[in-house]
Amino acid sequence: MGPDDSQMYGAVHGGTIMQVMEEAGTILSTQYCNRIGTSLDDGQKSEELVTVSGCVENIEFVNPMFIGDLAEVHAEIGYTSQHSVQVLVEVYGKNIMKAKRKLAARGKIWYVPQSRGKDKRVLEVPARTYTRGDPGVEKAGKVSYERLKAIRDSIKANKQDAVVEYDSSLIPAYEPQPGSVAAATASMNFTVHPSSCWAGERYVRGGLVMKWMDECGSLSATMHSKHFGYTANVDTIMFLRSAFVGNMMSIIAKPIFVGTKSMEVQISVDLIQLVLGKRLTRQKAVDAIFTFIAPGEDGKPRDLPPLKLVTDEEKKLFEERKKIYEQRKAAMMAAAAAGKR
């Protein structure tokens, strides 16, 4: 890890870690689908394919990495459905001077295989064979698959990804109330260049989009807390569509829940397309919730200022996320108590 991989305090950027996780998963899932698909095809060569990010189930950041650390990325196939494959990824940071290694992050990412070239078609995934050494992997993977599929189906059913005219009013007023959601709303825009894509392809790399999202989310968290925000956890990232060379991507991040020590930031990515000489259209491409903390000088999360809620929508979403936060906290305390017995 070099200077380009770090944020201002010398720790490796959370977006950089997510990017290498996604890239490792892409490599493994593409190799798996091509190699296993060919071996199951009675000797006949299968159609070559590449996999694209379909969804990030979750990513947990465990320990920080620093400039000079060696990043070791471990990936393995988890669960396979007819058209998607789950990859389990872990990243370790190794201090090569002291030969010490710590787990930096772990997560579960889903990929969808598609044909190469302009005619993008979703292809089938070779089924994984489970052994006695995989207790619960298939069952847990199927539960996750059904949950994530329900989320995607709900987005489609409610037409939350519909194509609409581009409207800059999504960005809040210049002088919103201090401490409010609008005051900490951040926005960033990017254009997809060939360097943003996989070699030989024209669509943006999912890991790069995740890095952009992390940067925008960290900016929002920093604007609210008035201290630098560090990524602690990532909820489901749902990739709804790909962006290609020449497309623009508009990222908007806003705080939706603030607890005592952590805050949740909702991050939406819109695909902006130009209809030459006529108009700009906007369509949701990615949606996710990131959790941030603001460490003090002792490295422990500092207390955060409360979030001022102005609209009914903000209040409703805050209560929904508060309920989820309390459920997770209770589950963690129960697990810790059970471990002591």
- pLDDT tens-digit series, residues 7-26: 877 789 999 999 999 999 99
For residue 139, the tally of other CB atoms under 10 A from its CB is 12
Between 175-179, 279-283, 298-302, the lowest mean confidence (pLDDT) is in: 175-179
Residue with tokens 């397309």: 273
Residue 55 has pLDDT above 80, yes or no: yes
Q: Which stretches of the chain are assigned E, i.e. beta strand?
A: 49-61, 70-80, 85-95, 100-115, 164-165, 186-191, 230-234, 237-239, 248-258, 262-275, 279-293
In whole angstroms, what is the distance from residue 221 CA to residue 36 CA? 43
Q: List the alpha helices (DSSP H) in 115-250.
A: 137-157, 206-225
- Please report, for residues 13, 64, 135, 236, 286, the alpha-carbon distance to residue 10 in angstroms, rounded to integers and kept in the order given: 9, 10, 40, 27, 29
Looking at residues 249-264, what average pLDDT do you find? 96
Nearest to 113 by CA among 142, 77, 152: 77
The domain segmentation of the chain, as residue ranges, is: 3-157, 169-340
pLDDT given for residue 93 in this prediction = 96
CA distance 29 to 3: 30
Decide if pLDDT at 131 tops 80.
Answer: no
Q: Report, at the CATH architecture level, how domain 169-340 is classified.
A: Roll (3.10)
Tell me the average pLDDT of the chain: 89
Pairing of strands 70-80, 85-95: antiparallel
Kindly compute the dihedral angle of the four CA atoms of residues 50, 56, 57, 58, in this order, to the nearest 10 degrees: 140
pTM score of the predicted model: 0.87
Contact assessment for residue 83 and residue 7, using Cβ atoms and an 8 Å cutoff: no
Phi, psi torsion values for 100, nearest 5 degrees: -105, 140
- The answer on pLDDT for 39 being more than 90 is no
Evaluate if residue 192 carries a pLDDT over 80.
yes
For residue 267, what are the β-bridge partners?
253, 288
Q: Which one-letter amino acid corresponds to residue 82?
A: Q
Average pLDDT over residues 126-140: 80
Higher pLDDT, 170 or 336: 336
Q: What average pLDDT score do residues 299-316 get?
A: 94
Q: Is 140 exposed, middle or buried (0-12, 13-18, 19+ CB in 10 A)?
A: middle
Q: What is the pLDDT of residues 157-173, one digit of tens each?
A: 888 888 888 766 555 55
DSSP annotation of 99 reads T
Confidence at residue 169, expressed as pLDDT on a 0 to 100 scale: 56
Q: Which of 266, 284, 260 is nearest to 320 (CA)?
A: 266
pLDDT at 160: 82
Distance in angstroms (rounded) separating the CA atoms of residues 323 and 257: 10
Tell me the mean pLDDT in the region 254-272: 96
Better-predicted residue by pLDDT, 161 or 238: 238
* pLDDT reading at 120 higher than 90: no
Superfamily of domain 3-157: Hotdog Thioesterase (3.10.129.10)
CA 204 to chain centre: 14
Q: What is the pLDDT of residues 269-293, one digit of tens each?
A: 999 988 777 788 889 999 999 999 9
| Residue 304 confidence (pLDDT) | 96
For residue 259, CA distances in Å to 22, 199, 324 come to 29, 42, 12
> Which of 40-44, 168-172, 254-258 ranks highest by mean pLDDT?
254-258
Helix (H, G, I), strand (E, B) or coil at 226: coil
| pLDDT score, position 129 | 84
Task: Provide the 8-state DSSP code for 306.
Answer: P
pLDDT of residue 133: 60
pLDDT band at 90 (very low <50, low <70, confident <90, very high): very high
Given pLDDT bands bounded at 50, 70 and 90, which one contains residue 44? low
Sign of the four-CA dihedral 218, 224, 229, 235? negative
Cα 253 to Cα 14, 243, 289, distances in angstroms: 16, 19, 9
The number of angstroms, rounded, from the C-alpha of 53 to the middle of its chain's C-alpha atoms is 10
Determine the residue type at 323.
K
Q: What percent of the chain has pLDDT over 90?
A: 66
Instruction: Please give the pLDDT value at position 328.
Output: 87
Phi (first) and psi of residue 275, to 5 degrees: -95, 105
Range scoring the smallest mean pLDDT among 44-48, 191-195, 332-336: 44-48
d(CA 262, CA 301): 8
Question: Which pair of structure tokens corresponds to residue 164?
Answer: 């609409």
More confident residue, 308 or 174: 308
pLDDT score of 199:
78
Q: What pLDDT is attached to residue 170?
A: 56
The better pLDDT of the pair 174, 292 is held by: 292
> pLDDT class for 256, splitting at 50, 70, 90?
very high
Residue with tokens 């909820």: 235
Task: Check for a shared fold between 3-157 and 169-340.
Answer: yes
